[in-house]
């Protein structure tokens, strides 16, 4: 009998709870629909050119041919990966240790043992030049 009396209250609480969850996910999750549009580099440094080949061999299957993301992994050419939020060291750690899912719904990133730290440096150079070409610059991270 008590459940019947309180059912309207539970319905209202559930309705507002779902609305709050939708609002939070819309405002705090990256927008995957805009993650594939990006400019390619026509001119790049020698380091970035070397990084492009390494990126293609080691990263593109998940992060897309030019870092724009895919069905398997997030775009690295996205403001959330600006150097203030994800500094170069974050890329080194991701390659060496893997990364638990945290910004995107793609699952955990496994470590990439086949990629050396020198190769990671070249890949980072390529990604950072692509980011700059797409207007992604350093923004201080605020929590």
pLDDT digits (tens, 9 = 90+) for 33-79: 444 446 667 789 998 999 999 999 999 999 999 999 999 999 999 99
CATH numeric code, 32-133: 1.10.760.10
Strand, helix or coil at 132? helix
For the whole model, what pTM was predicted?
A: 0.73
- The residue whose two tokens read 């593109």 is 60
Domain layout of the chain by residue ranges: 1-30, 32-133
CA 37 – CA 2 distance, rounded (Å): 54
pLDDT mean over 92-121 = 97
């Amino acid at each position: 009998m008590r459940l019947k009396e309180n059912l309207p209250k539970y319905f209202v609480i559930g309705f507002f709870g779902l609305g709050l969850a939708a609002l939070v996910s819309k405002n705090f999750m990256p927008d995957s629909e805009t993650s594939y549009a990006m400019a390619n580099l026509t001119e790049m440094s020698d380091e970035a050119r070397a990084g492009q080949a390494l990126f293609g061999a080691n990263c593109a299957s998940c992060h897309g041919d030019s870092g724009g993301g895919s069905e398997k992994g997030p775009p690295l050419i996205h403001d959330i990966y600006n150097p203030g939020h994800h500094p170069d060291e974050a890329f080194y750690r991701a390659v060496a240790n893997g990364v638990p899912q945290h910004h995107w719904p793609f699952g955990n990133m496994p470590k990439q043992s086949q990629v050396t730290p020198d190769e990671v440096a070249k890949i980072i150079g390529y990604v950072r030049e692509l980011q700059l070409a797409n207007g992604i610059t350093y923004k201080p991270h605020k929590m």
